[in-house]
Structure 1
């Protein structure tokens, strides 16, 4: 069958099977495939594969942005503004939150980043990846909760953090000499509140 090249190529493997054995094999492989799909569904929102859904949605909702990572212009003349920039996740707009989930983790933005190219420990890829990690772990209820909460996190064994996760951007951090280093904080993995210097208000 020219429309089923893969199936036609391996059809000979089952040529000697009885009709009953073929039916059993069909049921086994069907439920195996379905089980693998069902097992992947809960993992999908926490993996980088979620960009398959959020990347086109991110572009469709904000097509006029010249860059996916473009931030809003700061009006320093507006006296009504009490804070410039973002100090916590709650200060970010929906565009910046969605950027974290649209990231494919290809690190192309890091490769062309002028600051990273000069050896500074600053990576746009690390920023977006950490936003997603932080949203998936500490701030899982940010979008649906209006309660105030504080989380204190300390990671004594994580390289480059000096024992403390600051601004949430050190779980996945850029190092000029050896690229990206991944360090998963045990406190974040287990969602244990322990003393620390980093606090997030949601």
Structure 2
């Protein structure tokens, strides 16, 4: 008999790869935007928010990354209600990319587009928190349960996302010069996106491990004793 462990089901491999893609793009996005923009302008510089990079030379990176996350989320299939919520989150991610945030002195149409962007971004962050706090920590009959430390990690990521959203909204009360200096919205969004990406990467590993059933040990054959 072959000693090789059984291969995981194809569905488990597909789900894992989608989760790896979502998590990897999420973690890389704030880093690539900040570093790429600094290289383009030739000096260290941060914008007011991740969405602000739409109006910079990093527009294609921002739009491409958000659309990639959106497509991954829409393609993600595991079980209900994960499928429904991931599809909604994917549509919201693409909307965030296609409806840019308003800057400067916007016209009526630009202001409306900016409102759509803000609503979609807020709903997207809330859904990402729901994945971490509810969906990733609940019992899943299709796989072996995650260990308790794993669930604590997901909850921590979810609470970080919620705290980042609250702090980003609260930062609006700060004076304009303070916000221009500290860039609180950018930092809050970056932390939330990093937490979201880390949770999805961790979950991808958990579901992949759970798809490998423990190999049963075969009893060693005992040679008959000759009299």
Return the TM-score normalized by structure 2.
0.26
Decide which structure has greater helix share.
Answer: 2
Decide which structure has greater strand share.
Answer: 1
Greater radius of gyration (CA): 1
